[in-house]
């Protein structure tokens, strides 16, 4: 049956633009973004959901694009690293990564930034983390310590080990300092 599978139509709004594609059922969202739409800012690292390099936002939430199928994203809003800037202005977390030297080789960086943007939104929404002393108590932005950022960013690996600078960049963009 290989090679003869019907391709499936799917329409996904990517960075604000509706994109109609036909994909094989087994095509991951990551592959559709990179190979189908040429949005190569999103990286393939492990392709197993272990490294976070492929992190994008689906309907405003950070997810791993390697571990979800493109054909399951019908009608969803996807944001990739290419969609973060507004009218030529970098997102504050992109600025902070430059300011804080939050990368060396840069391979994990788009995933780090997409994850970090969502970490700040999750914290603003009051979500606790495993680093939160009392998960039952309300969580506020003043609770977003370095330990909190490290825990919340633990799904994004950096083989260059830029972790201290990444934590600083996220803390800057969160307005913590």
Partner 1 sequence: MHPFTLTRTGDAEEAIEAHARDDRLAYIAGGTDLLGLMKDRVTFPERLLDINGLPGTASIEELGDGGLRIGALCRMSDVAADPRVRERFPVITEALLLSASGQLRNMASIGGNIMQRTRCAYFRDDDGPPCNKRQPGSGCSALHGSNRNHAIFGWSEDCVATHPSDVAVAFAALDADVIVRGRGGERVIPFTGFHRLPDSMPERDTMLERGDLIVAVEVPARAEGRASHYLKVRDRQSYEFALVSVAAAVAADRGRLRSVRLAMGGVAHKPWRLTAAETALRGAALDDDGALRSAIATSFADARPLARNAFKIELAQRAVLRAIQTAGERP
Q: Does 119 bind partner 1 (CB under 8 A)?
A: yes
Site residues for partner 1, 123-152, by CB under 8 A, read: 125-130, 132, 135-136, 150-152
Residue written as token pair 């599978």: 5
Name the residue with tokens 């934590």. Answer: 167
The residue length of the chain stands at: 177
- For residues 95 to 114, the per-residue mask of contacts with partner 1, x marking binding by CB under 8 A and - elsewhere, is --------------------
Integer Cα distance of 86 and 104 in angstroms: 25
Q: How far is the CB of 59 from partner 1 (least distance, A)?
A: 10
**Least CB distance to partner 1 at residue 91 (A):** 18
Point out which span in 63-71, 80-88, 91-99, 158-166 binds partner 1 (CB under 8 A).
63-71
Under rule CB under 8 A, how many of the chain's residues touch partner 1? 44
- Secondary structure letter of residue 6 according to DSSP: P
DSSP-derived secondary structure for 87-156: TTBPPHHHHHHHHTT--SS-TTHHHHHHHHHHHHHHHHTT---TT-S-TTS---GGG--HHHHHHHTTTS
Under rule CB under 8 A, residue 52 binds partner 1: yes
Backbone φ and ψ of 67, nearest 5°: -110, 25
Among 28, 42, 110, 165, indicate the residue that binds partner 1 (CB under 8 A).
Answer: 28
Chain residues binding partner 1 by CB under 8 A are 1-3, 5-6, 8, 24-26, 28, 47-49, 52, 55, 61-64, 67-69, 71-72, 115, 118-119, 122, 125-130, 132, 135-136, 150-156
């Amino acid at each position: 049956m290989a090679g003869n599978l019907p391709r499936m139509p799917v329409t996904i709004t990517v960075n604000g633009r509706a994109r109609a594609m036909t994909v094989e059922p087994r095509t991951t969202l990551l592959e559709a973004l990179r190979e189908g739409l040429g949005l190569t800012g999103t990286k393939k690292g492990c392709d197993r959901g272990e490294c976070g390099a492929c992190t994008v936002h689906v309907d405003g939430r950070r997810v791993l694009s390697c571990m979800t199928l493109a054909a399951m994203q019908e009608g969803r809003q996807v944001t990739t690293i290419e969609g973060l800037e507004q009218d030529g202005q970098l997102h504050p977390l992109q600025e902070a990564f430059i300011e804080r030297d939050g990368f060396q080789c840069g391979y994990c960086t788009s995933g780090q930034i997409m994850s970090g943007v969502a970490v700040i939104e999750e914290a603003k929404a009051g979500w606790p983390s495993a680093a939160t002393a009392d998960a039952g108590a309300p969580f506020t932005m003043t609770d977003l310590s370095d330990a909190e950022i490290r825990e919340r960013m633990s799904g994004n690996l950096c083989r260059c080990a830029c972790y201290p600078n990444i934590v600083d960049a996220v803390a800057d963009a969160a307005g913590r300092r």
